[in-house]
Amino acid sequence: LKKELEKEGFNVKLTRDKDVFIELGERANLANQWDGDLFMSIHCNAIDGNAERKKQIQGYHFYVLRAPESEEDKAIARRENKVATLYGEKNAKEELSPLEWFKLEARLEKYKQNSYMYTEELLKSFNGGKIRKQANGVGGAGFMVLVGAMMPAVLIELGFISNLDDEAYMMTDKGQKDLAERISKAVASYKEAVHNYRETLGR
């Protein structure tokens, strides 16, 4: 993905380039230090269950930081946030309290529209790909990895490693290149959409 984005002329920073754990909050802090314009946290999803359930549950899904509207969104945020507690991260928690959401609201409002603009471009770019859309493709919840980002931020679930079809595609060079190209295309389209929106406001 870094290579694909650089082809488009973007300056790309990675929070890590090897298999080490970086605290969830520190990832957003790094993005802030680099004065980023867009923060992406890229994941592969997974569920527990029997073989039939794992066969049924598949697909990509994109998430923004907002109060969850469904139990499913709450559950996925808990799964993603649990990694911090497993690694002993200081102040780790699986869910944000109502008071924490209240404190976040004003800051979220500043970046919310652009975060949604980017998810819209992701949906367009991923449409028709090998991995199908899960539900409506977009959700929101209290992902700790997104909380500190002072910029538009999206968590990308590429597919389910617990689903044999999704996993097989994501394991191939072809699949990884395809997914990287789709994300890169969405970033380029998002940049253009933001530029057009600002020009419209200027007029």
* pLDDT tens for each residue of 77-113: 666 656 555 545 555 555 556 656 555 666 667 788 8
Question: Which residues on adjacent β-strands are paired with residue 64?
Answer: 140
pLDDT at position 91 is: 58
Residue numbers of the chain with a pLDDT score lower than 50: 87
pLDDT at position 25 is: 83
pLDDT at position 148 is: 81
What is the sign of the dihedral through the CA atoms of 122, 127, 132 and 133?
positive
Structure tokens at 59: 């697909």
pLDDT at position 70 is: 64
pLDDT at position 23 is: 86
pLDDT at position 71 is: 67
